[in-house]
Structure 1
C-alpha cells in the first residue's frame, strides 16, 4: 500500500515502483526518475539512495550541523514544534523522548545514525530484547522517525531506512473479568448509586457508555441533554508533566477530546439517567467533584476504583478495562461496527475492529455448525 507523500505504488505486474524528482536544466517542467523492486522496502531504499545523490549534487547534503547528536536534534524538534502541538501532546512526546529515545541514542551523532542502524533494535543489550513489548519499540521508532523527518525538512539530510516504515504495535488480547465478578461489581455500584454515591455512578457511566476515564472526569452537568437522554463528550482531563527547569512537577489540564471523533454524543440508559437526576439536585459544575477541588481527577478515581475491587475481593483490573468490557458486550449483542465506533469515539471503524474483533475457536465452531453447501 502506498504511503502518503512517498510516490510509491504497486504495479499490475506485481512489482513496486517509486518515483523521485530530478533537476531539469531547462526548468520547463518537472522531471522524475523511476526505480523498481520486488518489495515496498526495496523500492524505498532505492528512492532514498536516489534522493541522496540528487541532494549531494545540489550541495544540500552538508547542511546538517557537524557532530549534531540525536539528543540535540530532539531538543530542537521539541522546541520548534511546541507552539504547534497541544500541551498534552508536547508532554507525551517529551516524556517518551527523555525516557526511551535519549538513553539509547541521545549521544550518537545524527549523521552516523543516518548511515548505520544500531546493532540491535531498539539498541538494547543482548538478552534484554524480550523484556519490551512491541508497543514500547514502536514508540521509540515513531518518535525517532519524527525527529529525522524534522531534520530532513530543515537540513535536507534524508531519513534512515532502518526507521521506516515503522512496524505497527501489536494489540494485546483484551481479557475481561469473569461474569460473576462483574455482576458482583455492578450490584455493589448500583446499591451505592441509589445512595447518591457519585463515584459509583461515574464508574457505571463509564462501564455502560464506554467513556475514557479522562472524559468521565471532565464531564459537567451542562454536558447532559436531559430531554434527549444523552451526554455530550466535549473535553478530557489528564495530569501532565510541566517540565520546569530543575524540578519535576505535574498539573491537571482539561483539553479537547483525543480526536474529532471523540467529540461525540452518547445515549444513556434510562436507569443511569435516574441516578444522575438524583445526584444532581441543584448541583452545577463537574459531575464528579472532589473533596477539596471542584473536580475529581483521574488518578483519584483510579485509586477509588482499586479500593472498591479490593473491598469486593475482585482481582485488580485497570479502569480502562471498563471501556473494553463495554465494547466486548456491544459486539456480543450484535452492535454494528459503525455504531460502536461512534460510541467509542474512534477515528475510524478499522481501529475498532483491530482492537476488539477477534474470533475465538468456540465462535468459529458456532458459525460452522451445520453448514451446508446449499444453505
Structure 2
C-alpha cells in the first residue's frame, strides 16, 4: 500500500514502484513515468529527484506520439515549405528519404536519443559518405528537431553535442596557363557566345551563366549583374522526375556585380549582335541549362589531353589567376559570391602559398636593407 502522497507501491514481485507525472500528451492527458527498486528508500530518493526534474522542465511538455518519420514530413511540408526554395526543399527531401528514414525513421520522436544519432553518424561514415555530406544530412535532422523543441514536443535537441569529423580537405585543381590559353583559343571559334570564356573571366557558377540574360549586362558601366540561377532538380510534383528552376541566387552574397574586362566586353558585344535569344548562352532561342553547357564543354575537349577536367574548374581557374596577380582575398571572395572570406581561404589556401612566400621575402629584404 502507498504511503500518503508518495505514489510508491509494493509490487507482487517484491519490488517497489514509484510513479510520477512525466509530461502531457497533445490532448493534455497526463503521461506517467515509473521508477523501480528493491529498497523503498532508494525508490523514494530517485522519485523525489525525478519529480523535481519533470515538474520544472517537462511538466508542460506536449508529447508527440508519432515517429520521427511522421514528424520530418510534417516539418518539411508544414513549417518549412514556405520558407525555403524549391531546390532546398528537394535536397532536404532526398536526405530525409535516402539517409535519415532507413536508420531512424521508425523511432518515436519522444524516444530519440543522442546516442542513437551518434550511431547514425557512424553508419553514414561506414557508407563512405563525405564529411561535408554528413554535415548537410545532420543539418536537416537538427533543424527538424529544433522545431520540435520550439513546439514543446522535446525539452532539448538530441542532435546537440554530436561529434563529427572535420570537413574533408577540398582539392582545388585550376588549369595551368598553357591549358587556359589552349581552351580560350578553341572557345573563341565557337559560333555562339561561349560559356567557357564567361567562366574563365568572371568566375560565375554554371547555373549563374545558364540564367544570364543580355539585360543583366551593363556595357556602359562594364559590369555583369548576377540576378538569377538556373538549375535542374528533383520534381516536387508527382508524375515528373525532374524540373528546371529559374530562381534568384541562393544567398545574398551570390547576388552580386562583376566588372567586365575590356577584351570580354568586346567579345560579348560582338556576340550580342548575332544573338536571337534574351539569354547570353542559348539553345533554340531560349536558355541552355547546365547539363547542356556541360555537354558542350565535354564535346569541346574530345580528342585532347584535357578530357579529365570539369566545368567547375574554370571557376577555380579564375580565382587562382586573381590570386596569382595579387588580388586581395576579400575582393576574390566578393567576385566569387562566397558568403565569407573564410570559405575562400579554406578553398584557395594552397593557391595563395606563393603570395605568402613573396610577402615573407619582401619582409626579409626590408630587414636586410635596414
TM-score (norm 2): 0.76
Deviation per residue, 1:264-307 (Å, 9 max, x gap)? 1111122222221121116451111113x611111111111112
Q: Does 1:273 align with 2:255?
A: no
Q: Does 1:212 align with 2:205?
A: yes
Residue 344 (structure 1) shift: 1.0
Partner residue of 1:95?
94
Q: Which one has a bigger Cα radius of gyration?
A: 2
Task: Measure the CA separation in 2 of the matches of 1:361 and 1:121.
Answer: 38
Sort the Cα spacing of 1:362 and 1:88 in 2 relative to 1 into closer, same or farther, 3 A.
closer
Contact 1:337–1:353 under 8 Å retained in 2: yes
Partner residue of 1:25?
none
Task: Measure the CA separation in 1 of the matches of 2:127 and 2:366.
Answer: 46
Sort the Cα spacing of 1:162 and 1:347 in 2 relative to 1 into closer, same or farther, 3 A.
closer
Partner residue of 2:142?
145
Task: Measure the CA separation in 1 of the matches of 2:324 and 2:55.
Answer: 56
Which structure 2 residues correspond to residues 1-375 of structure 1 after superposition, within 5 A? 53=53, 57-61=57-61, 63-66=62-65, 68-80=66-78, 81-114=80-113, 116-118=115-117, 120-124=119-123, 129=126, 131-157=128-154, 158-161=156-159, 164=162, 169-192=167-190, 196-198=191-193, 201-245=194-238, 247-281=239-273, 283-291=276-284, 294-358=286-350, 371=364, 374-375=367-368
CA RMSD of aligned residues (A): 2.9
Q: Secondary structure at the match of 2:244?
A: strand
Task: Measure the CA separation in 2 of the matches of 1:353 and 1:115.
Answer: 33
List alignment gaps of at least 5 residues for structure 1: 1-49
Q: Secondary structure at the match of 1:317?
A: coil
Task: Measure the CA separation in 2 of the matches of 1:289 and 1:227.
Answer: 23
Q: Secondary structure at the match of 1:144?
A: helix
Compare 225-234 and 352-361 and name the one that shifted more: 352-361
Contact 2:222–2:260 under 8 Å retained in 1: yes
Task: Measure the CA separation in 2 of the matches of 1:197 and 1:359.
Answer: 33
Residue 130 (structure 1) shift: 6.9
TM-score (norm 1): 0.75
Aligned residues: 314
List alignment gaps of at least 5 residues for structure 2: 1-49
Deviation per residue, 1:100-141 (Å, 9 max, x gap)? 22223222222332353346342528xx62722111211221
Contact 2:323–2:352 under 8 Å retained in 1: no
Contact 1:117–1:162 under 8 Å retained in 2: no
Sort the Cα spacing of 1:248 and 1:263 in 2 relative to 1 into closer, same or farther, 3 A.
same
Task: Measure the CA separation in 1 of the matches of 2:55 and 2:298.
Answer: 57
Task: Measure the CA separation in 2 of the matches of 1:236 and 1:155.
Answer: 38
